[in-house]
Amino acid sequence: MEGEQNINSTDRRFGRVSTPPRPAPFLIFPYEPLPPNLLTQINNDLSEGYYGPFDADLLAVRAASFIRSNSRDANEGLLTQVMREFLVLAREDCITAGRAPSITTTTTTTATGEGESNTGIYHGKAQHVAHSCWLCIHMTLPTDEWAVPRWHRDGRMFQCTCPEQSKEVPPPPHSKYAFTILGPSMRVMIPNPSVKAVMGMRSEETGRSRWNQNSPDPELAKRLAEYPEAEVQPGQVIRFSWGPSDSPVHSEPDSTGLHRVFVSVLFGSEAELRDMCGFRGEKYGVWC
């Protein structure tokens, strides 16, 4: 896995601008086993999403109820607990380590020579970038559709409203957080320059407009088979960036004979999520 890039502080005439290290494009959180007897099966292929203001408690209750409605043995109380823990973890990481820290903070020097930080302003910006979310729940019956992986990167989700950075400082990454409640975890290639090169070559060979990344690609799967994948346990939370070329290459897992419940969430400002709704034809503030 690639380490995080270190970006040094820069002194300016009227203060010092400090930019924290750019978060890694892929992160696996410490593994915590899911509670036993959460659920063992689902009834139908079913998906639901939500674009709107973030509220961990309300979203956890609604998500658990949705999953329970499509399963004969799901424990709704435990599902609510698991969903809330996931949502809180994801938002806290987004604010403290995922995206917000890449927003530049400034320390100015007062007349007495003492440093004065804009911590309050920074905190407000941090809350701003996680004001809203897109929560997505996918429930799928056993299928061999992904026996051949659909290796791809996630493209742009919304128009970023982050402040402009200097040429020396890469833009802050935007990430999704995900975990699997039931069934196999998402497959992710360990970030590797060779993997990036293979993806670039495949895109050039097929033509960007003709390469359907929504479908399995046997040739691409063959070329990437020699490179290692990350080990992600069922229930283990991951963070992966979307948009830039160093975003991790990933795929749905082979779910032959296996029921699966997959959950993901991404965060943004209200304006960013409304922008996302606009080009996806969705409504802000409602489940769909």
Most confident by average pLDDT, 12-16, 202-206, 231-235, 245-249: 231-235
> Is 108 part of a structural domain of the chain?
no
> Is 7 part of a structural domain of the chain?
no
State the Cα–Cα distance between residues 121 and 119, nearest whole angstrom. Answer: 5
Query: What's the CA angle centered on 147, arms 227 and 226, to 5 degrees?
Result: 15
Number of domains in the chain: 1
Predicted local distance difference test score (pLDDT) of residue 215: 72
Rounded to a whole number, what is the largest CA-CA distance in the chain?
A: 70
Domain that holds residue 136: 27-102+114-287
> Is 268 part of a structural domain of the chain?
yes
Q: In the beta sheet, which residues pair with residue 105?
A: 18
SS3 48: strand
Nearest to 60 by CA among 39, 38, 43, 77: 77
Q: Which amino acid is at 264?
A: S
SS3 58: helix
pTM here? Answer: 0.79
Looking at residue 143, the DSSP 8-state letter turns out to be B
Most confident by average pLDDT, 83-97, 171-185, 191-205, 211-225: 83-97
> Is 210 part of a structural domain of the chain?
yes
> Is 20 part of a structural domain of the chain?
no
pLDDT in tens, 57-81: 999 999 999 999 999 999 999 999 9
